[in-house]
Amino acid sequence: MSAETKSRLIITGGTGYLGSHLLAILLDAHQVTVIDRTIKRERVNAGDVTFIESDLANVSDDILSNTSVLVHAAYANNLAEEKLFLERACKLNPKL
C-alpha cells in the first residue's frame, strides 16, 4: 500500500507495552505517528513511523487535525490532562 493511500493514524503511548504491540499490527495499513512522553525505540521494531516525544498537553493542533484515526494507549497519570487532550482532538477533528 502506498503512503498516499494509507490513512493517517496516531498512537498515544505508542512505545509502551500496549501501544508497541498495536503499532506492530497497524503499521502495514496506516501511516503512523507515535506520541509518547518517553520514546522507547527498543520496544518498537517498525519501519516508517514518525515519533513525537511529548506529553498530551503539548501535542500540536496540526497533528491532531490531520489524522484519520486516534488510538489512545497512553498511561493516564493525569486524568485532567488526558480529558483535555481528547476533547481538543475531537474539537479539531470531528471525524475522530
pTM to 2 decimal places: 0.84
Residue 96 C-alpha cell reads as: 475522530
Question: Which residues on neighbouring strands pair with residue 32, listed in sequence order?
Answer: 9, 49
**pLDDT recorded at residue 6:** 84
Nearest to 9 by CA among 76, 93, 77: 93
* Per-residue model confidence as pLDDT tens digits over 32-90: 999 998 877 666 666 778 889 998 989 999 999 989 999 999 987 889 989 999 999 99
**pLDDT recorded at residue 44:** 67
Which residues does 72 contact at the CB level (< 8 Å), separation at least 6? 12, 13, 82, 86
